[in-house]
C-alpha cells in the first residue's frame, strides 16, 4: 500500500515554506535573525558613528581656513594637555564630583525615610514628588534657577529677609566658589546640577536601602551597637552599591552637560561646552573628538571602580 | 553656455562673450535660469523674518510668491558656526560677517558673484561695494547685507544720566558715578573676536605699542591685549553669549555696562528700563555682513534672486528696523516706514568712519612688517582667558 492511496494534499513547495523549514532545522538561525536589527543598530549606527567621530582625533585642522587635514598626527591629542584645555578637564571633573557628593548627601536621608518609614500613601506621594521635576522641561528648570539665583532673585531676597545677606556675601567673597552673584558662580552651577539630577540618585539609593533586612539592624541593636555604629557598620555598607549606582548617573550626566554652564556659572568652559564650541562653532572636529575621548575614559575608570563595589546589582 | 546659445539669445551671448574675456577665477554664474523652487540660507537670528515673530516684519513671503523659491533658514549663533555649516555644505547662501567671510573665501567654500546678474548692485553703499572682507583681488564674493557697530550699553542710573566717554568703564576697575565699584557689574562678549576690542582700547591709551589696526596685532601687541583681558576677567560678571541672557542680566543681575548690540539696547529701552548706549571716544568694533553663495549651491538661480531681493530698499529698511543695524543700501534709510526717518541715524549710520569692522586676523598682515597673530590662536587664548588663565 502506498501513501498515494491516502488523499493527502501534497506539501506546498513555496519559498516561504522552505524558509520556515530551514529556520526549524537550524535553531540558531532564528536567533541570529531576530538579533540582527538591534545588532546592526548598535554596531553600525550607534558605535560606528561614535568611532568615526572619535577617530577624527588623530587628524588636525588647517589653522586659517578651518578645514580638516586628514593626516594622522598626535598633535591634537597632545593639545588636551595645554594648560587652558587641561583646566577644562579638571574643572568639569571637579564640578561633577561636587555635584555627586552633594546629591548623595541630600538623597540619602530622603531615600532612607521613603524606604524605612513611609507608609503606602506616603510612599506614593514620595514617588510623585521625586519624579515630578522630571516631567517638566529641562530648560524651564534651568531658567527658573537662573531667576532664583540672580542677584535680585528669590534666594538673595530671602537671605536679606532672614538677615543672612552677610553670610551670603561672605560665601560669595570666597575664592573659587564665590563670584559677583550666585548665578555666575560655581556654587550656583553645582546647586542647579544637584537639583536636576537628584532623582537619579534618590531612586537607586532607596532601592538599595529597601533591601537592607530590618533584622540585621535589630540584631546590631541587640548586640549593643549604638545608632551611629549601626549606621556606619551595617546600613551604609549595604546601601553603598545604591549610592554608587546613583553616582554613575549624576557624575556622567554632569560630565556631559553643556546647557547649564551657558546659562549659570562663571563663563569658564566645561567639557560639553568645549566639545560643542569646537565642533559646532569652531569647526575644529579633531580637537572636539579628542575632548570627547575624555569623558569616555573617565567613565570607564569610574565604572570599573563602581563594579568592584557591586553597584550594578542594585540597578 | 557652450551648447545652448542660439541667435535668439543674442544679448546673453554678448554677456557671455564679455565675461569670458575676464580671467577665469572659479565657476561664476553667467546667466540666470528659472528658479529651482527653494533656497537654503544660513543666517543670523532675526536676519530673515517671515512675519512669524511680528507680522509687520516680513520680507520672505513676498519673495516666495514672486520668485517661487521657498526660503529655508538655518540660524547660526556665531561666525565660527557659520563657517562650520558652510564647510559641511548643503546650503546655498550665508550672511557672513567679516570675521567669517575671508575664511570662507580662503577655504574655497564660496563662489565669486557675477554682479551683472544683480540689477540693483549699483545701489549698494559705495564704501561697502568693494570692501576688503568680501572682495579679494578685485573679485566680489558676496553682496553686502547690513552693518552696524557694537555699542557700549549702560545703565543710566548707575552713570547718573551721563554717557561714559571711554571703554575704560568695562576694562579697568573703577568707581562709577553711583559711588560703587564696577567690579562684578560689567560684562564682556564671549567670542575670541573681542580681543580686538581690547586692542582698540590699547590703540588709544597705549600708543607706544604701535597698534595700527585692532585685527592686526604683533606678538607684543597681542600679549598686551591679552593682559588687559586677564585684568578684565577679575571684574567681569559674565561673558555674554546669548543676547536674551544679557537682557536678563541687565534686568535682574545688576549689570550696568557692557559691550553690546543695538538689538539689546532697543529691547531694553522698549521695556522702559533705564538703559542707553553710546560709542566712546576710542571708537568701536563693528560688523558688516555679506550674503555669500556656496560654490556647490544646489539652487544658484534662487540664490541670485534672493541676493537681488536682499538689497531692495524696503527689505533693507525693515531689516534695519528689526535688527537695529544699518542698511547696506543708503536709499533704504528713506524707504521704510518701520525704520522711520531717523532710524538710520539712531542705529548709528554716522559711525562708519569710527567703526573697525570684524575681520579674520591672519598671519600675513598689511600694517605690521613682522607679521601678526592668526585667528586660531585668538580662539585658544580667549578660551584660556575665560577660564581665568
The interface predicted TM-score of the complex, written ipTM, equals: 0.74
Give yes or no: residues A42 and A90 share one domain.
no
In this prediction the pTM is 0.78
Contact check, Cβ <8 Å, A82/B380: yes
CA distance linking residue A207 with residue A192, whole number of Å? 25
Q: What percent of chain A has pLDDT over 70?
A: 91
Largest distance between two CA atoms of chain A: 108
Separation in Å, CA of B353 to nearest CA in chain A: 28
Residue of B74, B75, B80, B229 to mutate when probing chain A, most A C-beta within 10 A:
B80
Domains held by chain A: number: 2
Per-residue confidence (pLDDT) for residue B339, from 0 to 100: 82
Instruction: Spell A24-54 as b/e; 16+ CB within 10 A means b.
Output: eeeeeeeeeeeeeeeeeeeeeeeeeeeeeee
Say what the pLDDT of residue B347 is: 81
pLDDT tens by residue, A15-48: 888 888 888 888 888 888 889 988 888 888 888 8
Q: Tell whether A26 and A87 lie within a shared domain.
A: no
CB contacts < 8 A (A, B): 102
The beta strands (E) that lie in A56-171 are given as 60-61, 68-69
Q: Which CATH number fits the domain B19-148+287-356, given the four candidates 3.40.190.10, 2.60.120.680, 3.40.50.10140, 3.30.70.1450?
A: 3.40.190.10
State whether A149 and A98 are in the same domain: yes
Which residues are registered as beta bridge partners of A161? none
Q: What is the pLDDT of residue A6?
A: 60
Residue A190 within any structural domain of the chain: yes
What's the domain range around A286? 82-314
Cell of A63: 589653522
Could you tell me which residues come within 8 angstroms of residue B295 by beta carbon, excluding any fewer than 6 positions away?
A: B26, B27, B108, B109, B110, B111
User: Tell me: the pLDDT tens digits for A171-202?
Assistant: 999 988 888 889 999 999 999 999 999 999 99
What stretch of H or E contains A59? none
Phi, psi (deg, nearest 5) at residue A81: -90, 5
Cβ of residue A91 closer than 8 Å to a chain B Cβ:
yes
- Nearest residue to A269 via CA among A253, A288, A248: A288
Contact B259, A154 (CB under 8 A): no
A99 part of a folded domain: yes
CA dist A75 to A61, A62, A293, B384, Å? Answer: 10, 12, 15, 19
**Residue A66 domain-assigned?**
no
- The cell numbers describing A70, all together, are 586628514
- Residue A94: pLDDT above 50? yes
Report d(CA A24, CA A8) in Å as an integer: 23
Indicate if A40 and A97 belong to the same structural domain. Answer: no
- CB atoms B253 and A281 under 8 Å: no
Task: Enumerate the residues of chain A whose CB falls inside 8 A of the CB of residue B183.
Answer: 180
pLDDT score, position B354: 87
For chain B, domain boundaries: 19-148+287-356, 151-260+361-386
DSSP one-letter code for A1: -
**Contact (CB<8Å) B389/A184:** no
Positions of chain B with pLDDT under 70: 1-28
- Alpha carbon of A179: minimum distance to chain B alpha carbons (Å): 8
A279 shares contact with chain B (CB less than 8 Å)? yes
What the block records as the C-alpha cell of B265 is: 539696547
Q: Look up cell 521635576; give the residue.
A: A133
3-state helix, strand, coil in chain B (%, to 5): 40, 20, 40
Q: Does A198 lie in the same domain as A112?
A: yes
Task: Report whether B91 contacts B42 (CB < 8 A).
Answer: yes
Structurally, at CATH architecture level, domain B151-260+361-386 sits in 3-Layer(aba) Sandwich (3.40)
pLDDT tens digits, residue range A247-303?
999 999 999 999 999 999 998 999 998 888 777 556 678 888 999 999 999 999 988
Say whether both A158 and A22 belong to one domain. Answer: no
Task: Please tell me whether residue B328 adopts helix, strand or coil conformation.
Answer: coil
Q: Compute the distance between CA of residue B197 and CA of residue B187 in angstroms, rounded to an integer.
A: 13
Region of residue B358 (left: phi > 0; alpha: psi -120 to 50; beta: else) = beta
- CATH number of the domain residue A241 falls in: 1.10.3720.10
Name the closest residue on chain A to residue B380, using Cα atoms.
A84
Cα distances (Å, whole numbers) of residue A185 to A90, A146, A176: 17, 11, 8
pLDDT of res. A281: 58
Q: Cell numbers 588709544 label which residue?
A: B204
| Closest by Cβ to A84, choosing from B81, B237, B387 | B387
Residue whose C-alpha cell is 521704510: B336
CA distance B122 to B115: 9
Q: Is A274 on the interface with B (CB under 8 A)?
A: yes
Amino acid at each position: 500500500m502506498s501513501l498515494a492511496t491516502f488523499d493527502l494534499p501534497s506539501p506546498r513547495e513555496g519559498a516561504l515554506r522552505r524558509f520556515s523549514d530551514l529556520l526549524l532545522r537550524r535553531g540558531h538561525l532564528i536567533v541570529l535573525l531576530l538579533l540582527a536589527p538591534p545588532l546592526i543598530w548598535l554596531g553600525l549606527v550607534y558605535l560606528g558613528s561614535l568611532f568615526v567621530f572619535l577617530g577624527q582625533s588623530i587628524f588636525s585642522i588647517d589653522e586659517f581656513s578651518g578645514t580638516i587635514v586628514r593626516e594622522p598626527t598626535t598633535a591634537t591629542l597632545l593639545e588636551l594637555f595645554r594648560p587652558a584645555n587641561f583646566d577644562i578637564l579638571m574643572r568639569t571633573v571637579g564640578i561633577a564630583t561636587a555635584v555627586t557628593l552633594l546629591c548623595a548627601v541630600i538623597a540619602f536621608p530622603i531615600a532612607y525615610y521613603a524606604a524605612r518609614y513611609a507608609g503606602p500613601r506616603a510612599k506614593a506621594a514620595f514617588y510623585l514628588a521625586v519624579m515630578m521635576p522630571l516631567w517638566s522641561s529641562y530648560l524651564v528648570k534651568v531658567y527658573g534657577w537662573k531667576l532664583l539665583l540672580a542677584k535680585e532673585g528669590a534666594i538673595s531676597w530671602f537671605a536679606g529677609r532672614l538677615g543672612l545677606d552677610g553670610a551670603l556675601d561672605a560665601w560669595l567673597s570666597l575664592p573659587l566658589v564665590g563670584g559677583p552673584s550666585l548665578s555666575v558662580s560655581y556654587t550656583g552651577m553645582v546647586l542647579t546640577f544637584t537639583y536636576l539630577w537628584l532623582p537619579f540618585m534618590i531612586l537607586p539609593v532607596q532601592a538599595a536601602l529597601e533591601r537592607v533586612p530590618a533584622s540585621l539592624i535589630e540584631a546590631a541593636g541587640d548586640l549593643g551597637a549604638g545608632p551611629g555604629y549601626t549606621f556606619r557598620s551595617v546600613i551604609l555598607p549595604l546601601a553603598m552599591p545604591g549610592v554608587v549606582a546613583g553616582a554613575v548617573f549624576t557624575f556622567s550626566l554632569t560630565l556631559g552637560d553643556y546647557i547649564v554652564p551657558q546659562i549659570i556659572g562663571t563663563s569658564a568652559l566645561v567639557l560639553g561646552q568645549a566639545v560643542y564650541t569646537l565642533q559646532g562653532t569652531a569647526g575644529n572636529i579633531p580637537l572636539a573628538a579628542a575632548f570627547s575621548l575624555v569623558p569616555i575614559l573617565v567613565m570607564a575608570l569610574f565604572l570599573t571602580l563602581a563594579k568592584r563595589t557591586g553597584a550594578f546589582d542594585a540597578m | 553656455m557652450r551648447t545652448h546659445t542660439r541667435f535668439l539669445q543674442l544679448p546673453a551671448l554678448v554677456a557671455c562673450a564679455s565675461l569670458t574675456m575676464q580671467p577665469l577665477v572659479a565657476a561664476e554664474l553667467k546667466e540666470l535660469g528659472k528658479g529651482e523652487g527653494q533656497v537654503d540660507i544660513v543666517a543670523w537670528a532675526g536676519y530673515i523674518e517671515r512675519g512669524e515673530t511680528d507680522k509687520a516684519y516680513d520680507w520672505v513671503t513676498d519673495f516666495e510668491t514672486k520668485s517661487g523659491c521657498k526660503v529655508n533658514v538655518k540660524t547660526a549663533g556665531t561666525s565660527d558656526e557659520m563657517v562650520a555649516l558652510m564647510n559641511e555644505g548643503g546650503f546655498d547662501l550665508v550672511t557672513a560677517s567679516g570675521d567669517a567671510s575671508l575664511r570662507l573665501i580662503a577655504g574655497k567654500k564660496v563662489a565669486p558673484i557675477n554682479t551683472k546678474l544683480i540689477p540693483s548692485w549699483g545701489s549698494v553703499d559705495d564704501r561697502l561695494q568693494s570692501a576688503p572682507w568680501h572682495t579679494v583681488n578685485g573679485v566680489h564674493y558676496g553682496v553686502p547685507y547690513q552693518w552696524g557697530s557694537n555699542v557700549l550699553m549702560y545703565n543710566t542710573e548707575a552713570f547718573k544720566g551721563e554717557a561714559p566717554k571711554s571703554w575704560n568703564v568695562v576694562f579697568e576697575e573703577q568707581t562709577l558715578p553711583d559711588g560703587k565699584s564696577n567690579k562684578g557689574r560689567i560684562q564682556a562678549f564671549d567670542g575670541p573676536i573681542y580681543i580686538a576690542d581690547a586692542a582698540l582700547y590699547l590703540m588709544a591709551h597705549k600708543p607706544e605699542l604701535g597698534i595700527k589696526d585692532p585685527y592686526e596685532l604683533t606678538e607684543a601687541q597681542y600679549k598686551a591685549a591679552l593682559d588687559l583681558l586677564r585684568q578684565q576677567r577679575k571684574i567681569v560678571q559674565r561673558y555674554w553669549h546669548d543676547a536674551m541672557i544679557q537682557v536678563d542680566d541687565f534686568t535682574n543681575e545688576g549689570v550696568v555696562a557692557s559691550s553690546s548690540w543695538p538689538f539689546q539696547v532697543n529691547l531694553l529701552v522698549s521695556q522702559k528700563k533705564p538703559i542707553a548706549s553710546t560709542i566712546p571716544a576710542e571708537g568701536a568694533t563693528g560688523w558688516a555682513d555679506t550674503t555669500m553663495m556656496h560654490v556647490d549651491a544646489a539652487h544658484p538661480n534662487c540664490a541670485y534672486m534672493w541676493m537681488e531681493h536682499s538689497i531692495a530698499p524696503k527689505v533693507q529698511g525693515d531689516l534695519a528696523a528689526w535688527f537695529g543695524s544699518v542698511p547696506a543700501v543708503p536709499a533704504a534709510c528713506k524707504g521704510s516706514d518701520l525704520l522711520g526717518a531717523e532710524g538710520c541715524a539712531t542705529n548709528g549710520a554716522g559711525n562708519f568712519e569710527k567703526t573697525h569692522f570684524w575681520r579674520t586676523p591672519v598671519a600675513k598682515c598689511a600694517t605690521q612688517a613682522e607679521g601678526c597673530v592668526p585667528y586660531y590662536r585668538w580662539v585658544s587664548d580667549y578660551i584660556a582667558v575665560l577660564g581665568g588663565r
